[in-house]
């Protein structure tokens, strides 16, 4: 029988992607005590990276929000691996850090990262509300538009 969070994902029409393997010398997540630290994830879809380029030059804020939402789905895929497949173990989303590949003039990083934040609240309800940073980056790996890392509290 599916758990409460799996049922919520189904209700939202969300199928989590396969958790991506690391692309360098790091692990995708670390559990220490009752916290799970998820390494930075990008906007990977079934066919690879879906959003590349800089906000303010190549992409509009709405596209950035979609990139952040997709990136958050990849965060959740890693989280699911970290908790042995049981997302009901998640007590809350503690913090998200969002990096936005953007021009120096672009100043809507918080709106872009709302794509990730909104998803956490949709999936976990009040337990999805979190502390957050949304910052500009002059470039991100392989020109991805957005990168998000996260910390979750688990049981």
- CATH (domain of 78): 3.30.1330.40
Does residue 12 register a pLDDT over 80? yes
Q: Is residue 78 part of a domain?
A: yes
Is the whole model's pTM more than 0.85, yes or no? yes
Residue 127 lies in a domain: yes
pLDDT at 72: 98
Domain residues for the domain of 66 are: 35-150
Task: Starting at the earlier edge strand, list the strands of the sheet with 146-154.
Answer: 29-32, 35-41, 146-154, 90-101, 131-137
User: What is the pLDDT, as a whole number, of residue 106?
Assistant: 98
Number of domains in the chain: 1
Query: Would 125 be classed as within a structural domain?
Result: yes
pLDDT at site 23: 86
Report if residue 72 sits inside a domain: yes
């Amino acid at each position: 029988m599916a758990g409460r969070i799996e049922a919520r994902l189904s209700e939202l029409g969300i199928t989590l992607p396969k958790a991506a393997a690391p692309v360098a010398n790091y692990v995708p997540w670390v559990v220490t005590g009752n916290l799970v630290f998820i390494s930075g994830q990008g906007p990977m879809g079934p066919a690879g990276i879906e959003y590349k380029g800089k906000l303010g030059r190549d992409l509009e804020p709405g596209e950035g929000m979609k990139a952040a939402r997709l990136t958050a789905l990849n965060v959740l895929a890693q989280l699911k691996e970290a908790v042995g497949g049981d997302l009901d173990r998640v007590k809350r989303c503690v913090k998200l850090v969002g990096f936005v590949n953007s021009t120096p003039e672009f100043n809507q990083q918080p709106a872009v990262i709302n794509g990730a934040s909104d998803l956490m609240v949709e999936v976990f309800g009040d337990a999805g509300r979190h502390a957050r940073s949304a910052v500009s980056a002059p470039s991100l790996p392989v020109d991805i538009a957005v990168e998000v890392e996260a910390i979750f509290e688990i049981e």
